[in-house]
Amino acid sequence: MSGDFPPGLSLAAAQARIEAQLAEAGIDEPRREARLLLAAATGVGLATLLARPDMPVGEAGAAIARFLAARLDRMPLSRILGRREFYGLEFRLNAATLDPRGDTETLVDAVLAWLDAEGRRGESLRLLDLGTGTGAILLALLSHLPQATGLGIDIAAEAVAAARINATTLGLDGRAEFRTGDLLTGLDGMFHIIVSNPPYIPTGDLAGLDPEVRRHDPVLALDGGADGLDFYRRILADAPARLLPGGLLAVEVGAGQAPAVAEGMRHAGFLAVSLQADLAGIARVVAGRQPDREKERD
């Protein structure tokens, strides 16, 4: 395929060839993806692609062909590039991390909105992120909470390594710690906020996922057990012992799972349980408050 992109081929012609193949494969937004793929493969910025369309691809033909072949094999563009933008920040990915989705930004929004309503953004809060992956949720929150610190837990050591790199790159490593672990098992310490985007795909649904997810996201970050709710049960059983009075538990859920998770949260003793919809109108976040026994007695 590298012969499709000889050294003298112009950037404009290369982009047209990439776009045509992506469109033929049924990939959404082929023009945008062609532009990003070409920019990454050539090392030429997007501004140059627009300003100098007659510039030749030079020796980048093999890289262009390799990137295009990966995308046609339905590897997500973010994984080809090795990075993903989330909440206005850039995160490095690896094979052990879930590719952060825009839907998950709803969880960050929900936590920040709760803190605003409570007037607590400026407090020295302690946050816990279960199943942290790239560290996207925790680091996005810390970037908006200048006095807060946080701990991210993931069962995959490679994911923890990626999260640490992301924290350093974003200048947040002084306030973020990452450890290998299995949710709350063996964890001590108390937290003001616990967040999680746990695996929530029912095992039987994994085979029907889009190839970008099925082939390239780690199964450990997807498989939520027979009904998709295994990890919520574990979190709800253990989180109350690690949350400070009046603290917040907020979790991302899959489509249709919010009622069951909300009911489980109420059963575990959480108060003011609420749902937050994503941009598509799907209930994406369930949040509840740990009782504050002193205030409730008053």
Average pLDDT along the chain, 298 residues, taken 10 residues at a time: 79 94 93 92 87 91 92 91 92 91 96 96 96 97 98 96 97 97 95 97 93 89 94 97 97 97 97 96 97 61
- C-alpha 92/C-alpha 162 separation (Å) is 7
pLDDT of residue 298: 41
Joined together, the tokens standing for residue 269 give 């003793």
pTM to 2 decimals? 0.89
The closest alpha carbon to 251, from 92, 145, 241, 270, belongs to: 270
pLDDT of residue 49: 87
pLDDT of residue 297: 45
Residue 6 carries which side chain, given as an amino acid letter?
P
Residue ranges of domains in the chain, CATH in brackets: 2-73 (1.10.8), 84-297 (3.40.50.150)
pLDDT of residue 277: 96
The closest alpha carbon to 79, from 33, 30, 128, 20, belongs to: 33
pLDDT of residue 23: 95
pLDDT of residue 294: 52
pLDDT of residue 107: 98
- Report the phi/psi class of residue 26: left, alpha or beta, with left for phi > 0 and alpha for psi in -120 to 50: left
pLDDT of residue 3: 56
